[in-house]
Structure 1
Amino acid sequence: MSEPVTVPLAEIVADVLPADVPEAVIGEVIAELLLAESPRVLADDPVEAVAALTELVEAATRQVFAPDPLADPVAALTHPTLPPEPADPVAAAAARAGVDIRPVDTHVDVAAAVSVLDGVFAPGAGHHFYPPSLLRNLLAAGAPVLLAWDGETPVGVVLALVGWTANGQPMVQSGPMAVLPTARGRGVSIALKLAQRAWAIERGVTEIRWTFDAMAAVNANLNLCRLGATVEAFLPGYEGLRDAASPIPLPYDRLLVAWHLTGTPAGPADGDAEPVWAVVSADGLPVLDPTWTLAPAALVALPADISALRRDDPAAASAWQHAVGGVLQEALASGWRAGWDPVGAYRLTAPDR
């Protein structure tokens, strides 16, 4: 017969009890649990015994502080209650990002929004990216302009206009979104977009649209994967040329996406289809496989940092933009669906696949 556990039960329970929960409070519940679970708890292996007792103490703590005093403690152990989803996802996202999302209202708010936009899109330019007068006109027209505050410091902003879809339904056309570099990586963009979504839903709007740089991997991941927007079209040269005076001016190619706020949109990609690489990186340059159109799915690589590439190697940036833009434009015009793959590339799925 195996030797019983030599560590006193009281010492084991004391070691695993939460520091702020008195032993006497949950002692009776632990005793009830031990009656039901003693064959598993009194194991030959002291390590297993401690692990089992830890589960029992946690289950007992849940039972004592459960809203239902008649709940079954053994069921609480075997089927622990999951924490409820936050009632307000906007507040939860803002809390995770460490910001407070508020609509732009006063002249101080307008100045704060202008400062964030200038800091992201026109640093050192000597002029405003969006002049205060334009923002005030947007506000006068009822447009949602939302600011993210970190304490007393504005760190993010998103603009939008209210309009109508082709069939006359109200929609929100989201404009520039800016987050200062010091606040990136915290989820401020997610919090701003969820606040924008809540604003739209409260007013009966079911669709938000916007465009983003088709070459920006970070933006593609945010919009297509984390937010779940749907790619509608590829728009070559949508905003003209960037650096038009440079030897290699690059067009502002954009992807138009729609964020459907009701229902569950179909996934943009077929997870079972084996993709081929339509565009892949080789020595920092794109390599195109023209046979991608014959595959059920295709992956389109992007450079890791297109902004740095445009600044440091415009010729390479131009090559990437030509290759990626050509594939996206052909695919979307032919009815392919576009999403974002976890490998860090666009994933294209052929029609009727």
Structure 2
Amino acid sequence: MSRPENLGGLQTGPEPNHLDAAVDEAVGQAQSAAAAAGVDVRALTDFGDLDQAVRLLARIWGRDANPPMNLELLRAFGKAGNYVSGAFVGERLIGACVGFFHAPSEDALHSHIAGVSPEMTGRAVGFALKLHQRAWAMSRGVDRVAWTFDPLVARNAYFNVVKLAARPVEYMPNFYGLMLDTLNGDGDSDRLLVRWSLRDPAVAVACGRSGEHRPDPVPAAGAVVAVGTAADGSPEPGRLDGAISVVAVPRDITALRASDPALAAHWRRAVRDAMTGLLAQGATVVGFDRARGYVLRRNS
């Protein structure tokens, strides 16, 4: 059998019948996503590339004086075999993603941070980065990736739950404490923890789609409104007793934090109360409808 080739840190082989066909498929999907986005996704190893990553993440988060990642930590992560990758256009880094391994018994990768340069919005660079991460993990025998995101950011909810078919499993109030950066403002840093089951057939199907062609969201027709949107744009609390519930979020929480911090904080409390209440009752997040918000189903 031929030795595996290494493509941007991805390991695959020419004989899928004798190796792992799922890994080969994941590598192919990652390469297709990178080609569609017009980027080259590869592991970051030299100081120049790592320094680009530090400066890019600092610019995205507005933290030049206190970058969310530093050069020494990225260098150590990479040396220890963790995930440190970037998306390039030519030699210019325009996206970066960093993850580290859970405890050995948990057999999972925690994807700590991922960011794409704002001028590349709409190019599916983030999708290419995540598919590279999936293939990288699978080629190393890891079948699960976890990460957190702000539940009020609608575009991230859609990306994670619909485009990637990851599943939120825990709501964590004020997880990071006060962050004071451009993206998070000065409010509580609530997070949803999601788990991405890399070999789940639904994940494989989602990763095989390109562009915005996605399956219809889980039907929300007839769902009970746990949080809706009032005519003035404020959150409107509903009921938590539905077999299927929807929890709305603002269309653009980042803009709202800048224009009306008090209303943004009101949304935080309303979504927190509804999501923690529903999850405590055994509901699970099964979809995200861009018009109505999170779709949760009670598991009776």
Taking structure 1 as the reference length, the TM-score comes to 0.69
Cα 1:280–1:200 change in 2 (3 A) is same
In 1, Cα distance between the equivalents of 2:279 and 2:248? 16
Counterpart in the other structure of 2:298: 350
Sequence identity percentage: 35
C-alpha distance in 2 between matches for 1:128 and 1:272: 40
Which residue of structure 1 aligns with residue 260 of structure 2? Answer: 313
Indicate the residue corresponding to 2:200 in structure 1: 263
Deviations 1:227-273 (A, max 9, x none): 000111000010012449xxx95210000000001233699x86386
Deviation sequence 1:200-225 (CA, Å, 0-9, x none): 00010010000000110010000000
Question: How many residues in Structure 1 have an aligned counterpart in Structure 2?
Answer: 259
- Establish whether residue 130 from structure 1 lines up as the match of residue 79 from structure 2: no
Structure 1, unpaired ranges of 5+ = 1-84
1:106 and 2:39 matched = no
CA deviation after TM superposition for structure 1 residue 295, in Å: 1.7
Q: Say which structure is richer in helix.
A: 1
- 1:35 aligns to what? none
Q: Which residue among 243, 253, 259 is the counterpart of 1:296?
A: 243
Answer whether contact 1:274 1:296 (CA < 8 A) is retained: no
Cα-to-partner distance string for 1:113-148 (whole Å, 9 max, x where unaligned): 11211110125x334331111111111211111100
**Mapped pair 1:189 → 2:138:** no
The answer on whether the counterparts of 1:163 and 1:173 sit within 8 Å (CA) in structure 2 is yes
Aligned CA-pair RMSD = 2.3
Deviations 1:257-306 (A, max 9, x none): 00001233699x863862022211120111101xx222211111111111
Deviation by residue 1:294-324 (Cα, 9 ceiling, x = unmatched): 2211111111111111122110001000001
Would the aligned equivalents of 2:45 and 2:75 in 1 still touch at CA under 8 Å? no
Aligned to 1:221: 158
Shift in alpha-carbon separation, 1:160–1:87, aligned structure 2, 3 A: closer
Alignment partners' CA distance in 2, 1:211 and 1:259: 11
TM-score, scaled relative to structure 2: 0.81
Q: Which amino acid aligns with 1:284?
A: G
Q: What does 1:14-29 align with in structure 2 at a 5 Å threshold? A: none
SS in structure 2 of the partner of residue 293 of structure 1: coil
Contact 2:240 2:274 in 1 (8 A): no
* Residue in structure 2 matched with residue 11 of structure 1 by the alignment: none
- Measure the CA separation in 2 of the matches of 1:205 and 1:345: 31
Residues 1:286 and 2:286 aligned together = no
